[in-house]
Amino acid sequence: MILSEKFDRAYLLAAELHREQKRKNIPTPFIAHLLAVSSIVAENTEDEDLVIAAMLHDAVEDQGGFPTLKRIREEFGERVAEIVFACTDSTEMPRPPKAERNRVYLEKLKDAPPEVHLLSCADKIHNLRCMYADFLLLGDELWRPFSSAPANIIANYQNLLLLYQEHIPESRLVRLFEEELAKLIQIYKQQT
């Protein structure tokens, strides 16, 4: 797959929307996450729309809700907008509690097509990798910025794994997700 200028435009939009945003714990520019997720997706598909959706997957929930979704639809088409919306846990500001957003996200994924699961799995793989890297630097302080208890975070990831195993069982991303989740579980068990 050769990415077109359409991907270039998606990157520029993501950079614009997320310019002021940082990741949890280690204050990395948020665009690093979007690039990482896009890279994981690009390594596992020939679908440019899906790679573009990966670049924009957090735009609606983090940067403007439905007006941002409308902009994505107008600039990148209905399919990209549908995939991004399927990966959105909330359009409300202020955002609902994390437990509620997790519940909504899991419900949306139950009926989502495989490409949405592939993108979601790539997103969560990168989140898990970052959590492990943060643990290596911060130790027990890893959990501090999260609004959910560590046990609830792990339970949510375990529920996601079940959905990925059901919807994209042949994808190597499921195995990568399992490996990253196992590291997080090991960290948690050492701390309890």
- Phi and psi of 93, rounded to 5°? -130, 125
Which two structure tokens, joined as six digits, stand for 171? Answer: 């994808």
Is 62 known to be catalytic? yes
Among 100, 105, 122, smallest CA distance to 168 is for 122
Beta bridge partners of 22: 29
Q: State the catalytic residue, choosing from 47, 49, 58, 61.
A: 61
Per-residue burial over 36-72, b = 16 or more CB atoms within 10 Å of its CB, e = otherwise: bbbebbbebbebbbbbbbbbbbbbbbbbebeebbebb
CB 148 within 8 A of CB 101: no
**Rounded CA gap, 125 and 81, in Å?**
22
By annotation, the residues acting in catalysis are 61-62
